Structure 1
Amino acid sequence: MASSLAPSWHHQIADRVVYLWPLKAFGTMTFMVLFFWGYFTVLHNPLTPPLVMPVTWLDTWIGFSPSAFPAYVSLWVYVSLAPALMGNLRALRGFGLWMGGLCVFCLAIFWLFPTSIPPFPIDLNAYPEFAIIKGLDASSNAFPSLHVATAVFSAFWLNRLFGQIDAPRTLQWLSALQCSVIIWSTIATRQHVVLDAIGGVVVGAVFAALSFRQTRGVV
């Protein structure tokens, strides 16, 4: 009987989105500003010369695809969904702290063990949009892919959140699909190689598992 009186999943989503929305908006913006400050600081001050990551047969098979650009930049919307759907302050704080920990962990690796991708032959005059991401998300800071790690971390949290509000499994599958497309895009835009992406998947999954242990029952 209690379940029949519970708000529908779409009403729960609406309630969660408006809950503490100024804090969520300001917090997400501040987090991204601090992240990029740390990212570019490490990028321009590596401890040693970057090691060039090897290319595998999977990189050749996936190939370069200009159509991957929208998927690549969609990460910044995707990683904002989980905090937007948080229903209480403790969960929001836990997500932010663990996401921050993930970023600091990767930045520490980038500084201590810098890596870069090989110089892929991409005509930036033919694809001007790629000149933007090449300038913002340079070819260094390669392993593990922080792009992939944050996408995977967010995917696990979105899966958990959708389960909490009894949302249709379609939303969970769509989220997993979007995460997969983002992972593919990091390789297809030649911002990362396959080994970078695999490292990012591992880091994102491990940090998600650790964060769930600490925030069990508070989402």
Structure 2
Amino acid sequence: MNENTQQIPWYFQIATIIPKHVFLKSIGTMLFIGLFFGAYFYVLKVPAYPATIMPITILDRLIGYQPLALPVYISLWVYVSLPPALLSTRRELYGYGIAMTGTCLTGLIIFYFWPTAAPAAHVDWSLHPSMDFLKNMDTLGNACPSLHVTTAIFSGIWLHHLLRRFGGPQWILIFNWVWCFGIIYSTIATRQHVAMDVLAGLVMGVVAAYLSMLSPAMINRNSAPIKN
């Protein structure tokens, strides 16, 4: 094969893309997360109506409380930062940001008008200081749909799409989904959510991700790997 037509390695493509618009990516991501947390905790404290306690299912009983799931749960905030880092144009970054904002805003509106809460887990959180801190900071409200799950699956779908665009190997695609579903699993394993919250979050995240991919801002690029 002619050297000029050989595919550039996927990792080299990524290394080339990440520095593009790095200020917009970094500041935009941090600003978005900060604004989201402000709105999230506001809605958590002043919902329009009393919270509905979500029901426990068989799946919730099968998945026991697992303290080691906490780092995976917290890793969402790294995970959701990856898709924007792999976008190369301002048009794509703005389109992605609008889509993620719309998704989270939809969840916050649901939380405000239909507040829900996860049931008490009957765990002595004082024996688990890290989890005790999380429980005191993020109480069991704003439960359904789980925005933790929604943003994880939204990011997972976009990462899969972008990694395939770069011609990423099978192992990196698998790693992406292992991480994504690890975060989803951790929402139950840390007792922050129940299975019904997870299911609703999955539906909302999948629908939002695929709708975002249909927007004009996000379909103007060839998905084939870059070539020399």
Q: Which amino acid aligns with 1:61?
A: L
3-state DSSP of counterpart to 1:18: coil
Change (3 A) 1:2 1:93: farther
Identify the residue that residue 190 of structure 1 maps to in structure 2: 191
The C-alpha deviation readout for 1:113-132, integer Å capped at 9, x for no partner, is 00001111121221100022
Structure 1: runs of 5 or more not aligned: none
Identify the residue that residue 226 of structure 2 maps to in structure 1: none
Q: Which amino acid aligns with 2:19?
A: V
Question: Does residue 217 of structure 1 match 2:220?
Answer: yes
Question: Does residue 157 of structure 1 match 2:140?
Answer: no
Q: Percent identity?
A: 42
Identify the residue that residue 180 of structure 1 maps to in structure 2: 181
Aligned runs of 1:1-219 on 2, under 5 Å?
A: 4-214=5-215, 215-218=218-221
Q: Which amino acid aligns with 1:198?
A: L
Q: Which amino acid aligns with 2:219?
A: R
How far is the alpha carbon of 1:135 from its aligned partner?
2.6
Q: Which moved more, 1:86-95 or 1:198-207?
A: 86-95
Q: In structure 1, what is the Cα distance between the partners aligned to 2:16 and 2:213?
A: 23
TM-score, with structure 1 as normaliser: 0.96
Q: In structure 2, what is the Cα distance between the partners aligned to 1:71 and 1:153?
A: 17
Runs (4+) off by over 6 Å:
none
Q: In structure 2, what is the Cα distance between the partners aligned to 1:136 and 1:17?
A: 33
How far is the alpha carbon of 1:5 from its aligned partner?
4.1
TM-score, with structure 2 as normaliser: 0.93
Q: How many residues are aligned here?
A: 219
Change (3 A) 1:6 1:88: farther
Q: Which amino acid aligns with 2:109?
A: A
Q: Which amino acid aligns with 2:28?
A: G
How far is the alpha carbon of 1:28 from its aligned partner?
0.4
Q: In structure 2, what is the Cα distance between the partners aligned to 1:3 and 1:67?
A: 48
Q: Which amino acid aligns with 1:193?
A: V
Q: In structure 2, what is the Cα distance between the partners aligned to 1:3 and 1:167?
A: 20
Q: Which amino acid aligns with 2:177?
A: A
Q: Which amino acid aligns with 1:124?
A: W
Q: Which moved more, 1:123-132 or 1:74-83?
A: 123-132
How far is the alpha carbon of 1:6 from its aligned partner?
4.2
Change (3 A) 1:217 1:45: same
Q: Which amino acid aligns with 1:125?
A: S
